[in-house]
Amino acid sequence: MNKLIIPFLFIACLFVTSCNDDDEPKDKTKDIIMSVSEEPGVMYDIFDSERKYPMACMRVMDEDFPGEWRNLPMSAIEGFNYEIGHMYTLKVRRTILANPPADASAYTYKLLTVLEDRIWPEPKPDDNKIVVTCEEDIPYADKCPYHIYDIYKDAFVIDSNGKMHYANYEEGSNGFDLGIAAVRLEHVIENTSPEFAEFNKIDKMAYCAYVLSPLTDKIEKVYLTRAALYLKDVISQELYDEIVTKYESGKTLEYSLVLANFRGYGLQKVKFTISKE
């Protein structure tokens, strides 16, 4: 009798295990067509509850949300590089995660094919790009210059070991290298202010900056990363090494930045300094 019961129990266990596997939720995958707007949107990090650090994002529409333009992070579509001013039609593989992370979307996307890529509005033959050879050449956006941003800390100090610090740093601080030093912007218009809606649009968001250097008359245009301008894009490693080895103690370089939107139109001017300790 026992010889009959044991095989039966083994088969029953396999059946129950199989049923449990079938009952577990599974990811749902489908290939869909997605439209991407030429105009970017504005979104905030999930941890930015005070909405101080607006970020440019893509605006998309697809069959999951017909007639609705939604915001997606710039890196949300695997294998796709979005360029502002381009209107796209994409074929993507959309996956709805059965068990999404608590701090992320249940939807993921992977590029299959770019079906259409158009510059929009289509450029006219007589359109002129912004050419900046001096500060006076910088055009400003409507209602600008306006105080939209503050710099988190606007003074940097380079010690004798070549490490960078914020001014008035505590003794014993390790400092940081040029590669990670950054001018970080904070959005200063309160969300309760009447001006918040006007200056919280994509055309009033800092996307790049014109650098006015004390060492040259040439104006460079550099791009921001998550509301931060990395100093390695402003000063070369050669100049940095020169400051460390040749500059006298106390010598200060003052830089100005004309923050600009994604079309290159100015928003406001800010300043920061770099000093030799």
Give the pLDDT confidence of 204-220 residue by residue, as tens digits.
889 899 999 998 899 99
At residue 60, the pLDDT reads: 94
Is 194 inside a domain boundary?
Answer: yes
Dig out the tokens for 39 from the structure. Answer: 């105009």
Average pLDDT over the chain reads 85
| Per-residue model confidence (pLDDT) at position 39 | 86
Domain shared by 147 and 272, yes or no: yes
Most confident of 11-20, 136-145, 170-179: 136-145
Q: How confident is the model at residue 255 (pLDDT cuts 50, 70, 90)?
A: very high
Rounded mean pLDDT, 42-53: 82
84-99 confidence digits (pLDDT tens): 888 899 999 999 999 9
The verdict on 33 and 102 lying in the same domain is yes
pLDDT at 17 over 70: no
**pLDDT surpassing 70 at residue 128:** no
Residue 130 located in a structural domain:
no
Identify whether residues 190 and 113 lie together within a single domain.
Answer: no
Q: Is residue 17 part of a domain?
A: no
Whether residue 14 is contained in a domain is answered as no
Specify the pLDDT at position 137.
93
Are residues 115 and 224 located together in one domain of the fold? no
- Measured over the CA atoms of residue 115, residue 121, residue 127 and residue 133, the dihedral's sign is negative
User: Last residue of some domain: 64, 85, 119?
Assistant: 119
- Over range 76-83, report the average pLDDT: 92
Could you tell me if 164 and 240 lie in one domain? yes
Share of the chain above pLDDT 70, in %: 89
**Residues 170, 103 share a domain:** no
Amino acid letter, 203? D
Render 160-195 in DSSP notation, one character per residue.
TTS-EEETTPPTT---B-GGG-EEEEEE-S-TTSTT
Is residue 163 over pLDDT 90? no
**Phi-psi group of 264: left, alpha or beta (phi > 0 → left; psi -120 to 50 → alpha; rest → beta):** left
Last residue of a domain, one of 78, 94, 119: 119
pLDDT of residue 11: 54
pLDDT band at 124 (very low <50, low <70, confident <90, very high): low
pLDDT of residue 56: 86
Position 117 pLDDT exceeds 70: yes
For residues 206 and 149, membership in a common domain is answered with: yes
Give a yes or no: residue 100 inside a domain: yes
**Does residue 270 sit in the same domain as residue 141?**
yes
The amino acid that residue 102 corresponds to is: A
Check pLDDT > 60 for residue 186. Answer: yes
Residue 5 zone, left/alpha/beta (φ > 0; ψ -120 to 50; rest): alpha
